[in-house]
Amino acid sequence: MPRESLTSKKKRAVEVCRRMEEKYGGAESALDYYNPYTLLIAVMLSAQTTDAGVNRVTPEFFRRWPDPYALAQADPAEVGEVIRSIGFWRAKAEHAVEAAQIIVAEHGGEVPKTMAELTKLPGVGRKTANIVLNKAFHDCEGIAVDTHVFRIATRLGFTKASAPLAAEPDLLKLIPKELWPDVNEQWIHFGRETCRAQRPLCEGCMLKDICPSFGRPDRYRKKQQKKADKKEDRKKQED
């Protein structure tokens, strides 16, 4: 494929968003939450775990610790037992309690409303902060790039980054700010239904006419494996 100009790539990115909106407009989060606090906790727990798995543990979690004040006084070991069925439960339990303690001590029990303050909380990175700001406070400072968004962006040729966080600046340059709020949720749905990590449904894909990876889904996996191999080689050399 010929080298694509930035202008052309921007037009293609806008067209991708247009088609996503047409099919997934109004898509809601798969996580169950009902206020900024429950959203923050649910997203924190969802790292490297399925949304369905998080939704199975949060009803009991929020019954026992319905607000930051209750969670700030909780024993991390007890919290861990409640969320034991999800990945990295020990670290997540500790981070949740520590985050609640900071929210109570420094923010009057209210989930902070800025990127800087949110990312100071234990267990909260830029992706989580982006989701909380967008969904809880309707303040979109960026695009939450998870594994689905990262995979799709890579296959579409919108980023050459080796990790989701590093891919966000590339997407922000291509996608107009007014379209940022819907990217994460819509692309997640598309990634689950069509642009899957394994056996993507390229033939029936609504983006196949503008996707440089159409018909070559293994290209993405090979590219990621090559990056992983290089990283491992560097690590061995440093050791």
The one catalytic residue in 135, 146, 170, 182 is 146
The maximal CA–CA distance of the chain, rounded, in angstroms, is 59
Residue 107 has pLDDT above 90, yes or no: yes
| Least trusted range by pLDDT, from 131-135, 139-143, 205-209, 222-226 | 222-226
Per-domain residue ranges of the chain: 6-26+144-232, 36-137
pTM of the model: 0.86
pLDDT tier for residue 221 given thresholds of 50, 70 and 90 = low
SS3 164: helix
Q: Is 92 a catalytic residue?
A: no
Residue 230 has pLDDT above 70, yes or no: no
| Angle ∠(147,149,153) on CA atoms, nearest 5 | 115
| Least trusted range by pLDDT, from 96-110, 133-147, 208-222 | 208-222
**In Å, how far are 92, 154, 205 from 116, measured between CA atoms?**
20, 28, 38
Average of per-residue pLDDT across 145-168: 96
pLDDT tier for residue 235 given thresholds of 50, 70 and 90 = very low
pLDDT recorded at residue 18: 98
| Least trusted range by pLDDT, from 77-91, 94-108, 218-232 | 218-232
pLDDT recorded at residue 219: 61
| Least trusted range by pLDDT, from 4-8, 10-14, 111-115, 167-171 | 4-8
CATH topology of domain 36-137: Endonuclease III; domain 1 (1.10.340)
Residue 23 has pLDDT above 80, yes or no: yes
pLDDT tier for residue 130 given thresholds of 50, 70 and 90 = very high
Residue 42 has pLDDT above 60, yes or no: yes
SS3 6: helix
Average of per-residue pLDDT across 201-227: 79
| Least trusted range by pLDDT, from 101-110, 173-182, 211-220 | 211-220
pLDDT recorded at residue 217: 60
| 131 burial via Cβ count (<10 Å: 0-12, 13-18, 19+) | buried
- Identify whether the C-beta of residue 13 lies closer than 8 Å to the C-beta of residue 180: no
Torsion of CA 18, 24, 25, 26, to 10 degrees: -160
Among residues 75, 128, 125, 81, the alpha carbon closest in space to that of 98 is found at: 75
Q: Is 146 a catalytic residue?
A: yes
Residue 234 has pLDDT above 90, yes or no: no
Average of per-residue pLDDT across 206-218: 88
CATH topology of domain 6-26+144-232: Endonuclease Iii, domain 2 (1.10.1670)
Percent of the chain residues topping a pLDDT of 70: 90
Q: Could you give the CA distance from residue 144 to residue 158 in angstroms, rounded to a whole number?
A: 15
The one catalytic residue in 127, 135, 170, 182 is 127
pLDDT recorded at residue 231: 54
Choose between 230 and 149: higher pLDDT: 149
